[in-house]
Amino acid sequence: MTTGRLEAFSDGVFAIAITLLVLEFGISEDTEDLGAALLHIWPSYLAYVTTFLTIGVIWVNHHQLFDLVARVDRPLLFFNTLLLMVVAFLPFPTRLVAQFLQGGDEQTAALAYGCTFIVLAVAFQLVWRWMSAGRLIREDVPQSMLDGINRSFNPGLPLYLGVTALVFVSPLASIILFLALAVFYALPGSFLVRRR
Amino acid sequence: MTTGRLEAFSDGVFAIAITLLVLEFGISEDTEDLGAALLHIWPSYLAYVTTFLTIGVIWVNHHQLFDLVARVDRPLLFFNTLLLMVVAFLPFPTRLVAQFLQGGDEQTAALAYGCTFIVLAVAFQLVWRWMSAGRLIREDVPQSMLDGINRSFNPGLPLYLGVTALVFVSPLASIILFLALAVFYALPGSFLVRRR
Amino acid sequence: MTTGRLEAFSDGVFAIAITLLVLEFGISEDTEDLGAALLHIWPSYLAYVTTFLTIGVIWVNHHQLFDLVARVDRPLLFFNTLLLMVVAFLPFPTRLVAQFLQGGDEQTAALAYGCTFIVLAVAFQLVWRWMSAGRLIREDVPQSMLDGINRSFNPGLPLYLGVTALVFVSPLASIILFLALAVFYALPGSFLVRRR
Amino acid sequence: MTTGRLEAFSDGVFAIAITLLVLEFGISEDTEDLGAALLHIWPSYLAYVTTFLTIGVIWVNHHQLFDLVARVDRPLLFFNTLLLMVVAFLPFPTRLVAQFLQGGDEQTAALAYGCTFIVLAVAFQLVWRWMSAGRLIREDVPQSMLDGINRSFNPGLPLYLGVTALVFVSPLASIILFLALAVFYALPGSFLVRRR
């Protein structure tokens, strides 16, 4: 299994998961006022943009990590499959936020969303830790770069835990912060840019 | 991030979005007269063909622009993700047109469709402006070609704004004009052909 | 636009259309006897296998034609997009057959299915005629091979017209014959095998 | 038809089928207690993880077999299409398990799931038997490796038959064993790892 193959397959899953998000949108045929209905589903837009950007960021980071890899072993394949399993699952919690952010169960929906992001961060760390601890990294990659990536990973999980905990104060604020995190990681300035 | 990688991922999103359009079609099981029902959903066919051809044209133009690019930087990645976010969203306004073009809310549906196309044109311009203003273009691309592409971009946004404004006169005419624009851009004669 | 790019995009559409077919299957949650329900939806299985194999055959033939092509021009791109538009549409008539083959509207459903196949055959011929009439074929391809392919195309459209006309006698027989045609084209013995 | 093309197309189908699995998840808008509803759909999670890992394992094994292949002939193309047809069908029995594992029809649902896995194993064997019996294998592949793969295939079908038969004792235990099999095959220790 070459890294090229693994990346192409992972790319496929990323691209499909990101494009399936649109299926969360739906307006019932017997809507009386379409304009009002389109405004009323604002949580759908928020959830769509947040998850879309997050998967986009994961896709970029996924590539940048696999660029460092010389060979793929069986456990890496397994951890990558776990990661893809969480990515492919994202349309479901996204839809929960879209459906319930305006109802009485907004807290549960935002909690399910946040927990999926936490599991995602853990799966991503597993991929990275195995990659860097095992001898899978290309020999020409300097230790300083690995250290830099390690440091850049440190804030991820605590941040996601914190933003998820925020659902007990404000579910909406929690989702907006997830969006802000995705925008922050997507824009230049993160370590991944400085690398190049 | 090579342009090849970015293009392959974008292609994936284009191909999936274009193929998900078929999910807008549906006939209820308890339809009494299937033949009549199949004729009655003519807005679905119109919306399908219009969006399909439009995505097809965007796909072709996307490649032709990225063929000129020497390297991808972080903001280009970000603007491209915005563009993909709009493309992947298209099945939703397409479905709105299919559902509501025959009802009382035809204007709102066509307006939502047109506005999505306007956002699409803006996102496409952002990608192109960043590409050409930054130093991302290959050195062997002559300035005259860039000028030609710039000129070819000029009518796009005003046209889309105009066709969208038309929904206040006739929503159906507006959709048909979007289809005509896609056919016009898809057929030979546009700048993109003369380039080769 | 290289043929490789065009083929990769077309492959994406084929692969997605073929995989979306499964969405036609569905059993209502309040089914009382799941075993009986699974037998009762036999038209779904028939329609699934028929469309799946047909898209598979089209995919193989599509590649074999594009292997002969030296360059892609704008009209070829346009005709190929038309072909993809029909392929991506196939899940809808497939679902119609699945839904209505046991009801009173079986004839209309099978007719819609057959007509889609006819349009598909026409689109495929447009692609091939343009390819072979224009100067898009590689110079090392012998005329005898082009003649062979031309001959192999001859029976296609009349066959599809005939099998579609059969819906007025027996809709079920018509679908079964479409399946038989797909199996016949998929199995060795067609011109495409002898070529190698 | 090169093996690269065939593998890319097959990869596409694997990636799409694996990502469509998420569409089985759904919570009705008028759910009163979302937290309880999310726990109540535990069969959906179980079915999702089981099918996802199984497709992941099939994807890995599919590549490892096609790495040995020197050329693709028409029957191999046909058997591979049959295999893809079963893989693309998996979202349906997965959804049946998700819907019915808690109801009175759990046995039928688990039986449909198990039978699909049996057909999958048969299709995979057809691909492999044709590949190895015909002269499609690269000449530099030693006979000992082919013998090893043959031996590794032996337990597959009896195991799947046995686990499927278990549905008459406990449908839930049957699904859990399918999950255990997928994890077992995914983790290092199988023949596929020792090969490298």
Per residue in D53-69, pLDDT (tens digit) is: 999 999 988 988 998 99
Residues 6+ away with beta carbon under 8 Å from A150: A132
Q: Is the CB of C15 less than 8 angstroms away from the CB of D20?
A: no
Is pLDDT above 50 for C192? Answer: no
* Rounded (5°) CA angle B29-B35-B38: 75
Interface of B with A (CB under 8 A): 1, 5, 8-9, 12-13, 16-17, 20, 23, 73-75, 77-78, 81, 84-85, 88-92, 95-96, 99-100, 105, 108-109, 112
pLDDT digits (tens, 9 = 90+) for A37-67: 999 999 999 999 999 999 999 998 898 899 8
Alpha helices in chain B (DSSP H): 3-20, 34-40, 42-66, 74-89, 91-100, 106-133, 143-153, 156-165, 171-186, 191-194
Q: How far apart are CA D96 and CA C35, in angstroms?
A: 11
Residues 6+ away with beta carbon under 8 Å from A132: A146, A149, A150
Interface size, chain C vs chain D, as Cβ–Cβ contacts under 8 Å = 83
What rounded mean pLDDT belongs to chain C?
90
Q: How far apart are CA C116 and CA C164, in angstroms?
A: 10
What rounded mean pLDDT belongs to chain A?
90
- Burial track A177-193 (b if 16+ CB lie within 10 A, e otherwise): bbbebbeebbeeebebe
Beta bridge partners of D137: D69
Sort out which chain B residues have CB atoms less than 8 A from C99's CB and list them.
Answer: 27, 29
Sort out which chain B residues have CB atoms less than 8 A from C100's CB and list them.
Answer: 34
Query: What share of chain B in percent tops pLDDT 70?
Result: 95
Smallest CA-to-CA distance from B15 within C76, C104, C88 is with C88
Give the closest-approach CA distance of D20 to chain A in angstroms: 8
Q: What are the backbone dihedrals phi and psi of residue B137, each rounded to the nearest 5 degrees, phi first?
A: -80, 145
Helix, strand, coil content of chain D in percent (nearest 5):
80, 0, 20
Interface of B with C (CB under 8 A): 8, 11-12, 14-16, 18-23, 25-27, 29, 31, 33-35, 38, 48-49, 52-53, 56, 59-60, 63-64, 186-188, 192-193
Which residue has 């105009």 as its token pair? Answer: B162
Interface of A with D (CB under 8 A): 1, 5, 8-9, 12-13, 16-17, 20, 23, 73-75, 77-78, 81, 84-85, 88-92, 95-96, 99-100, 105, 108-109, 112
More confident residue, C194 or B120: B120
Q: Is the CB of B53 less than 8 angstroms away from the CB of C20?
A: no
Confirm whether pTM is higher than 0.90: yes
pLDDT digits (tens, 9 = 90+) for A77-117: 999 999 999 999 999 999 999 999 988 799 999 999 999 99
Q: Are A19 and B13 in contact (CB under 8 A)?
A: yes
pLDDT at C42: 95
Q: Are A19 and A89 in contact (CB under 8 A)?
A: no
Give the closest-approach CA distance of A92 to chain B in angstroms: 17
Q: Is the CB of A99 less than 8 angstroms away from the CB of D18?
A: no
Q: How far apart are CA D174 and CA C114, in angstroms?
A: 41
At B105 the three-state DSSP class reads coil
Question: CA nearest D183 in A: which residue?
Answer: A78
Mean pLDDT confidence for C112-132:
94
Q: How far apart are CA B151 and CA D4, in angstroms?
A: 41
Q: Which of A31, A48, A53 minimises the CB distance to B81?
A: A53
Mean pLDDT confidence for C107-128:
95
Interface mutation target, options B10, B19, B31, B59, chain C, most CBs of C under 10 Å: B19
pLDDT at C73: 86
Q: Are B176 and B46 in contact (CB under 8 A)?
A: yes
Q: How far apart are CA D47 and CA D55, in angstroms?
A: 12
Q: How far apart are CA D58 and CA C165, in angstroms?
A: 42
Lowest-confidence region among A20-24, A41-45, A154-158, B46-50 = A154-158
What rounded mean pLDDT belongs to chain D?
90
Question: CA nearest D111 in C: which residue?
Answer: C35
Is pLDDT above 70 for B188? Answer: no
Mean pLDDT confidence for B112-117:
97
Lowest-confidence region among A187-191, B40-44, D181-185 = A187-191
pLDDT at C30: 85
* pLDDT tier at A193, thresholds 50, 70, 90: very low
Q: Which of B22, B63, B187 minimises the CB distance to C78?
A: B187
Q: Is the CB of A78 less than 8 angstroms away from the CB of D34?
A: no
Q: How far apart are CA C159 and CA C103, in angstroms?
A: 26
Q: Is the CB of A187 less than 8 angstroms away from the CB of B74?
A: yes
Smallest CA-to-CA distance from D19 within B110, A86, B28, B33 is with A86
pLDDT at B193: 38
Q: How far apart are CA D22 and CA B175, in angstroms?
A: 33
pLDDT digits (tens, 9 = 90+) for D89-135: 999 999 999 999 988 799 999 999 999 999 999 999 999 999 988 78
The 3 state secondary structure assigned to C48-63 is HHHHHHHHHHHHHHHH
Q: Is the CB of A88 less than 8 angstroms away from the CB of D187?
A: no
**DSSP codes, B137-161:** B-TTS-HHHHHHHHHHHTTHHHHHH
Is pLDDT above 60 for B191? Answer: no
Q: How far apart are CA B20 and CA D190, in angstroms?
A: 38
Residues 6+ away with beta carbon under 8 Å from B46: B97, B101, B175, B176, B179
Give the closest-approach CA distance of D67 to chain A in angstroms: 9
Question: CA nearest C189 in D: which residue?
Answer: D74
* pLDDT tier at A133, thresholds 50, 70, 90: confident
Instruction: Copy the structure tokens of residue A153.
Output: 């990973």
First-to-final CA distance of chain D: 27
Q: How far apart are CA C62 and CA D60, in angstroms?
A: 27
Residues 6+ away with beta carbon under 8 Å from C41: C25, C27, C98
Q: Are C163 and C174 in contact (CB under 8 A)?
A: yes
More confident residue, C14 or C185: C14
Sort out which chain D residues have CB atoms less than 8 A from C59's CB and list them.
Answer: 9
Question: CA nearest C105 in B: which residue?
Answer: B34
pLDDT at A24: 92
* pLDDT tier at A75, thresholds 50, 70, 90: confident
Is pLDDT above 70 for C78? Answer: yes
In a domain, C154, yes or no: yes
E strand or H helix that includes residue C114: helix C106-133
Smallest CA-to-CA distance from D106 within D180, D169, D21 is with D169
Interface mutation target, options A16, A33, A34, chain B, most CBs of B under 10 Å: A34
pLDDT digits (tens, 9 = 90+) for D162-185: 999 999 999 999 999 999 999 888
Q: Are D133 and C67 in contact (CB under 8 A)?
A: no
Q: How far apart are CA A64 and CA A79, in angstroms?
A: 17
pLDDT at B2: 77
More confident residue, D35 or D149: D35
Q: Is the CB of B13 less than 8 angstroms away from the CB of A18?
A: yes
In a domain, C40, yes or no: no
Structurally, chain C folds into a number of domains equal to 1
Q: Are C105 and C160 in contact (CB under 8 A)?
A: no
Instruction: Copy the structure tokens of residue D83.
Output: 């295999």
Smallest CA-to-CA distance from A11 within C6, D59, B10, B1 is with B10
Q: Is the CB of B74 less than 8 angstroms away from the CB of A8?
A: no
Mean pLDDT confidence for B131-146:
87
At A196 the three-state DSSP class reads coil
* pLDDT tier at D192, thresholds 50, 70, 90: very low
For chain C, the chains sharing at least 3 beta-carbon pairs closer than 8 angstroms are: B, D
Sort out which chain D residues have CB atoms less than 8 A from C187's CB and list them.
Answer: 74-75, 78
At C155 the three-state DSSP class reads coil
Beta bridge partners of A137: A69
What rounded mean pLDDT belongs to chain B?
90
* pLDDT tier at D37, thresholds 50, 70, 90: very high
Range of the domain at B182: 3-194
Lowest-confidence region among B80-94, C70-84, C168-182 = C70-84
Q: Is the CB of C88 less than 8 angstroms away from the CB of B21?
A: yes
The ipTM assigned to this model is 0.91
Q: Are A34 and A11 in contact (CB under 8 A)?
A: no
Q: How far apart are CA A72 and CA A134, in angstroms?
A: 10
* pLDDT tier at C189, thresholds 50, 70, 90: low
Q: Is the CB of C52 less than 8 angstroms away from the CB of D81?
A: yes
Give the closest-approach CA distance of C142 to chain B in angstroms: 27
Is pLDDT above 80 for C122? Answer: yes
* Rounded (5°) CA angle A129-B2-C10: 105
